[in-house]
Amino acid sequence: MSSKTAVIAKLALRNLRRQARRSLLTAASMIAGGALLIFSLILGDGTHEQWIDSAVRMADGHLAVQSVGFQDSRALKDRIPSESRGLVEQALRQGGFPANINDMVPRLAVTGMASSAAGARPARILGVDPVVEAAFSVLDEKVRQGRYLQSGDRLAAFVGIGLLEALDLRLGSKFVLTAQDAGGEIAGQLVRVVGTFRTGIPEVDRSLLHIPLSTAGAWLGCSGDVTSIGLLLGNSEQVPQTRSSLRQRLSQHPGSEELQVLSWRESLPELDAAVKIDDFSNYLFQGILFGIIALGIVNTVLMSVMYRRREFGVLQALGLTPGQSASLVLVEGLFLTVLSGTIGIALGLSVTWFLWGEGLDLSSMMNNEWTFSGVVMEPVVVPRFRVARMVQGLSFIFLIGMLASLYPALRALRIDVAETMKFER
């Protein structure tokens, strides 16, 4: 049996070699396709990881621990009381801080109004721990004037440039924050601008400001409480696994029923949609492209079967079963596609690695900032090489080769031995 398989493989290879030019031309389209496939996949992954990274740093991290109702209400009543916050932090540290969690930030978020003599604007006010927040968030790198919050700051505010301009403030200006406190009363807090940032996302620059967590707690009458605890992981692929282990750890503690662990896909549904539509259009394009490549392969393999009708007739007369002649054709097609597909993928990988391994600079095409679902597109795309994508690409190419060789193989199966040898063609 195995010797027969070896013979079929040998025959298939010889047939391909005998028609070297034809094989090469067919392979060329597959090599180009494979290179393009892997290039767009790794570049797409790199782009998406960048979106996710900058979005989760702006929002509540790859994973966020919140009270059950907070995602819907966004209200202070659904906060995590200080006891539960201690519980979460303890659960995380117990038995070692999980290796793939890079940072953990407590935050107290409230929606209110910022007002100065020049007017008032709705504001998203975030009470943060200045030290850990500086490591977690990207805001401290977007400083326009002044500085980010520091430990020891009390009445300091780090304000978006749009909000600053709308309220006609400058560094050192005082302004008033108004929001509903934990007791349901309207409370005001005077703060002073210590720094401004610009992210490029208009919604954020117009409305977001950071104040120290202790100041926010005292102002809103809930010192020590937070609305969410954000976790930053090494990369987005670690999310599902870390999330289930975190859930398991939390469930061992009493009082954890009130808490839930949200992934960025749930807390940022728009970003999730943006990643999905981008992947979808990429898959659509690749699907169509490989459809065309497959038609080319069908054509060559089918023609080679038609030319060799007599040859198949003789082979079958000598004892090759129809099934074996069909598998010969199949193996030929598969050899051709898988070999050329692998070369294509290797080519795509090395070209991407050598030319754009450090990042593909698109800034010449983008003069303005592009935002997708609240994320600024970085003008430099860093490709992301993942083994899973290569396996995916190879299996896809294998599938295409299989499908494209199926019809020619079927034709070889149905060859009438007597008919093919009747006359000279």
Question: Measured between alpha carbons, how far is 70 from 366 in angstroms, rounded to an integer?
Answer: 37
Encoded tokens for 203 = 């919604």
Q: Does 288 bind another protein (CB under 8 A)?
A: yes
Give the nearer residue to another protein in terms of CB position, either 194 or 294.
Answer: 294
Q: Which stretch binds another protein (CB under 8 A): 172-180, 189-197, 324-332, 389-397?
A: 172-180
User: Cβ(297)–Cβ(340) under 8 Å?
Assistant: no
Give the nearer residue to another protein in terms of CB position, either 17 or 21.
Answer: 21
From residue 271, alpha-carbon distances to 48, 166, 385 in Å are 9, 28, 22
Q: Does 168 bind another protein (CB under 8 A)?
A: yes
**DSSP string for residues in 1-39:** -HHHHHHHHHHHHHHHHHTHHHHHHHHHHHHHHHHHHHH
Residue from 13, 75, 347, 360 in contact with another protein (CB under 8 A): 75
Give the nearer residue to another protein in terms of CB position, either 385 or 407.
Answer: 407
Q: Which stretch binds another protein (CB under 8 A): 9-17, 44-52, 214-222, 278-286?
A: 278-286
Q: What φ, ψ does residue 180 adopt, rounded to 5°? A: -85, 130
Q: Does 361 bind another protein (CB under 8 A)?
A: no
Give the nearer residue to another protein in terms of CB position, either 87 or 274.
Answer: 274
Q: Does 33 bind another protein (CB under 8 A)?
A: yes
Q: Which stretch binds another protein (CB under 8 A): 127-135, 254-262, 273-281, 313-321?
A: 273-281
Q: Does 380 bind another protein (CB under 8 A)?
A: no
Q: Which stretch binds another protein (CB under 8 A): 54-62, 84-92, 109-117, 143-151?
A: 109-117
Q: Which residue has the tokens 């200045």?
A: 130
Q: Which residues contact 264 (CB under 8 A, 6 or more apart)?
A: 52, 55, 56, 59, 60, 61, 62, 63, 236, 239, 271, 272
Give the nearer residue to another protein in terms of CB position, either 131 or 284.
Answer: 284
Q: Does 94 bind another protein (CB under 8 A)?
A: no
The footprint of another protein on residues 6-25 (CB under 8 A) is 21-22, 25
Q: Does 121 bind another protein (CB under 8 A)?
A: yes
Question: Measured between alpha carbons, how far is 176 from 189 in angstroms, rounded to an integer?
Answer: 6
Residue from 158, 197, 372, 396 in contact with another protein (CB under 8 A): 372
Q: Does 190 bind another protein (CB under 8 A)?
A: no
Residue from 6, 186, 190, 355 in contact with another protein (CB under 8 A): 186
Q: Give the 3-state secondary structure of residue 237.
A: helix
Q: Which residue has the tokens 């059950």?
A: 68
Handedness of CA 244, 247, 251, 257 (dihedral sign): negative
The percent of the chain in helix, strand and coil, each rounded to the nearest 5, is 55, 20, 25
Q: Does 139 bind another protein (CB under 8 A)?
A: no
Give the nearer residue to another protein in terms of CB position, either 69 or 81.
Answer: 69
Give the nearer residue to another protein in terms of CB position, either 237 or 278.
Answer: 278
Give the nearer residue to another protein in terms of CB position, either 154 or 276.
Answer: 276
Give the nearer residue to another protein in terms of CB position, either 69 or 98.
Answer: 69
Region for residue 330 given its phi and psi (left: phi exceeds 0; alpha: psi -120 to 50; beta: otherwise): alpha
**DSSP string for residues in 238-306:** GHHHHHHHHHHHHHTSTTGGGEEEEEHHHH-HHHHHHHHHHHHHHHHHHHHHHHHHHHHHHHHHHHHHH
- In the complex, the residues that contact another protein under the rule CB under 8 A are 21-22, 25-26, 28-29, 32-33, 36, 72-75, 111-115, 118-123, 162, 165-166, 168, 178-180, 184, 186, 202-203, 269-270, 272-274, 276-277, 280-281, 284-285, 288-289, 291-293, 295-296, 298-300, 302-303, 365-374
